[in-house]
């Protein structure tokens, strides 16, 4: 059975301001009527992108979510086990810039996540998938990841003083990790707002 595709970047003349404005008014109806909505966030231009997608999906599995989102997620992850906390802060031997969180940041920092008009894609769509190059991501995986970051980042960093497994020479690397946490939190807040509408 042939499928009908509506692609905003192609179906709307991007150089015609009047056409763009008129199409914006009906786009919510198009997304609401679509069987599936595919949000394209760009090419996977580096190994970081592929690792970021894989880590995002792994993070949802590690949270062991139960019940409805987001309440079930918050309940299921109310307390961080020490080994989970250390896993969150872990980096590869070569340094913080190979950290899985840094890879994840390459996904969240894409322009798609900061464009206000993309909100209606995931709010109005009945079934939403996100594509980064040839890698598919479930929208709810992104929402789970965002909530997990928002739920635990501040709490986890407050408990740094309680850890006796970090040596003093780790402080510089830890500072960089905290910096990346802050950037992730900023990106996650945007996703969380949209996720509240789709829960």
| Within-domain flag for 164 | yes
Percentage, residues of the chain above pLDDT 90: 3
Closest among 195, 193, 185, 7 to 109, alpha carbons compared? 185
Per-residue pLDDT at 97 exceeds 60:
no
Q: Please, is 53 exposed, middle or buried when counting C-beta atoms within 10 Å of its C-beta (0-12, 13-18, 19+)?
A: buried
Mean pLDDT computed over every residue of the chain: 68
| Within-domain flag for 121 | no
Cβ–Cβ under 8 Å, residues 36 and 119: no
More confident of the two residues 20 and 154? 20
Mapping DSSP to helix (H, G, I), strand (E, B) and coil, where does residue 47 land? helix
- pLDDT at position 131 is 92
| Within-domain flag for 13 | no
Omega before 136 within 30 of 0, i.e. cis: no
Per-residue pLDDT at 169 exceeds 50:
no
More confident of the two residues 32 and 176? 32
| Within-domain flag for 165 | yes
Per-residue pLDDT reduced to its tens digit, 105-155:
788 878 887 777 777 788 888 888 999 988 888 888 887 777 766 666 555
Q: Provide the pLDDT confidence category of residue 77 given band limits of 50, 70 and 90.
A: very low
Structure token pair of residue 92: 């590869």
In the chain, how many domains are there? 1
Cβ–Cβ under 8 Å, residues 103 and 189: no
Q: Which domain holds residue 156?
A: 47-110+139-198
More confident of the two residues 166 and 184? 184
């Amino acid at each position: 059975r042939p499928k009908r595709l509506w692609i905003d970047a192609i179906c709307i003349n991007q150089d015609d301001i009047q056409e763009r404005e008129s199409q914006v008014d009906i786009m919510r109806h198009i997304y609401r009527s679509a069987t599936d909505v595919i949000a394209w966030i760009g090419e996977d231009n580096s190994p970081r992108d592929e690792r970021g997608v894989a880590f995002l999906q792994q993070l949802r599995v590690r949270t062991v979510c139960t019940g409805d989102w987001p309440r079930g997620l918050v309940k299921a992850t109310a307390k961080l086990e020490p080994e989970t906390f250390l896993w969150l802060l872990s980096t590869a031997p070569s340094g913080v810039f190979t950290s899985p969180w840094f890879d994840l940041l390459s996904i969240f920092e894409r322009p798609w996540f900061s464009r206000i008009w993309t909100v209606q894609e995931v709010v109005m769509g009945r079934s939403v998938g996100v594509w980064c190059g040839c890698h598919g991501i479930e929208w709810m995986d992104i929402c789970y990841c965002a909530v997990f970051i928002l739920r635990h980042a501040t709490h986890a960093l407050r408990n740094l003083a309680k850890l006796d497994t970090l040596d003093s020479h780790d402080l510089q690397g830890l500072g960089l990790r905290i910096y990346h946490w802050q950037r992730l939190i900023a990106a996650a807040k945007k996703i969380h707002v949209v996720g509240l509408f789709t829960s």
